[in-house]
Structure 1
Amino acid sequence: MKTIKLDAIDSTNTYLRQLSTQENVDDFTIVIAASQTAGKGQMGTKWEAEKGKNLTFSVFKKISCLETDEGFYISMATSLAIYNALKHFHIPKLAIKWPNDILSENQKICGILIENVIQNSKMTAAIIGIGLNVNQTNFEVGLNASSLKKIIGTHFDLDEVLFQITEQLQKYSHLITERAFEELKTAYESLLFRKDKPSTFRNTNGELFMGFIQGIAEDGKLNVLLEDEIVVAFDLKEIKLMY
């Protein structure tokens, strides 16, 4: 496993993508930065993190066994890997908020952004970007964010946390290679935040509605049971869970 450590970079995902166009990048190459000036979040948002206090890194994972419409299994495997790595450190009340945020005590501690590498209409690799709040304790008001240190009061060694995550990523990547999709899906759905609980959502028109999270469709969409007893599959752009 090759690790590239940088002091500051715009985005570790962008760095790895550019590197992959210039040379043959080894499987499980990790790029980690003490600071990101333009860290990426879902839907074009920015990931903010204090320099040197958190983990902001990307992993290059070669993948040739998935079709382009099966990419959400990478997201499932990554979420499960981080969940289990954090269980090792006894972080309480962990849950996965669809599609791939990790929560503790209902607060966001980790975000994941996965960018697939497609060549000749085939998936050849995935760039897995991970932002984990570790030792930062001050967050912008209204973010509903927390960190490992803020939750349990312990200062963490960043290298030790990174090691646990990469160990779990390697473990769960084998399930992708083996196409053990049902195992991944069952495990992922069992940890979904607010599964089978009455929840409020907002649609693209800004309208609020009630529903129950049922699970995940094969393409990664969120299955929601609506008040009229109809299950509808929503894409990330179509719905926002308001808690």
Structure 2
Amino acid sequence: MNNSFCYDARSQHFTFNLFKISQSSSTLSPKKSNYNWIELDAVDSTNNYAMGLVHAGTAQHGTVVLAHHQTKGKGQRGKVWATEPGANLSFSIVVKPGLLINQAFQLLATVAVTVRNELEMYIGDEASIKWPNDLYWRDRKTGGILIENVLRGKDWQWAIIGIGININQTSFGDLKNPVSIKQITGKQTDVTAFAKQLHTAILNALMQLKETGFTSFFDDYNQHLFRRNEVVRLKKETRILHTRINGVNLQGQLSTGIETEEYFAFGEVEWLL
């Protein structure tokens, strides 16, 4: 059994454990299947399905699992990502990172910048990245990213990049602040076409990361950081902070403070919006 770790924007450290394969159920056999694309009518979690492919030895770099309905999608801190069937993007990309395990933030930031840039083509330059792994339009959430990883010893073998984007859904019930592309633009978007475009963009970005380094992605992450240079409220345990967002450092820590700078790792603080 392989050693594995999860790096899902909850901690800058890696949690090591023995990986137990979760059973992933889909209501139908794959609707489309070729070299690296699997399209399902419904599945519990595209990340679970993709992880199953990795452990079955059938995944390749670039393999995609797209579901038109995800019944138990994963979000940050164990939250469920709930979506309306057929209305939104729920997909996972399997990649060989080609990075060291202490460079995990580079993968997350590169993916976040790429998703944000693709969103900009639909919703404009008010698309931003809310640290550490959410996509926002103004003060409303358009999507999120969850990356789960597998390693053998110190070898980072696989990363499962799970992405959820609100595309055509217009009613979100009691959820606090979601927004979809359709609500912003008034236009219907082809979910599968969006997924294919984003898939290509992410693979190209990872190739660029490998060939030219992290600097441009790091700069873009900070340039499009949600509420950068603004005073916000954050919560750390019982402590409420009124502080300024200054940026994110190369380790993925959030830099805050007005007179005295203070850094927070993933999962140490909660946004109060």
| TM-score normalised by the chain length of structure 2 | 0.83
Q: CA RMSD in A?
A: 1.5
Work out which of the residue numbers 217, 224, 235 in structure 1 matches 2:256. Answer: 224
1:177 maps to 210
CA–CA distance in structure 1, aligned partners of residues 244 and 67 of structure 2: 39
CA–CA distance in structure 1, aligned partners of residues 85 and 246 of structure 2: 38
Q: Determine helix, strand or coil for the equivalent of 1:137.
A: coil
Work out which of the residue numbers 39, 43, 48 in structure 2 matches 1:9. Answer: 43
Instruction: Output the amino acid matched with 2:173.
Output: E
Kept in 1, the 8 Å contact 2:145–2:164? The answer is yes
Kept in 1, the 8 Å contact 2:120–2:126? The answer is no
Cα shift at 1:179: 5.7
Cα shift at 1:28: 0.6
Kept in 2, the 8 Å contact 1:53–1:135? The answer is yes
Q: Deviations over 1:3-45 (max 9, x none)?
A: 1011111111011111111114111100011111210001111
List structure 1 runs of 4+ shifted beyond 4 angstroms: none
Deviates more, 1:186-195 or 1:232-241: 232-241
Q: Determine helix, strand or coil for the equivalent of 2:120.
A: helix
| Cα separation, partners in 2 of 1:135 and 1:85, compared to 1, 3 Å | same
**For structure 1, which runs of at least 5 residues remain unmatched after alignment?**
none
1:212 maps to 244
Percent of aligned pairs with the same residue?
32
Kept in 1, the 8 Å contact 2:97–2:107? The answer is no
CA–CA distance in structure 2, aligned partners of residues 131 and 239 of structure 1: 23
CA–CA distance in structure 1, aligned partners of residues 144 and 227 of structure 2: 18
Instruction: Output the amino acid matched with 1:208.
Output: I
Kept in 2, the 8 Å contact 1:84–1:168? The answer is no
1:144 maps to 177
1:237 maps to 267
Cα shift at 1:63: 1.6
Matches within 5 A, 1:1-243: 2-64=36-98, 66-91=99-124, 93-178=126-211, 180-205=213-238, 207-225=239-257, 227=258, 229-243=259-273
Q: Determine helix, strand or coil for the equivalent of 2:129.
A: strand
Aligned length, in residue pairs:
239
2:4 maps to none
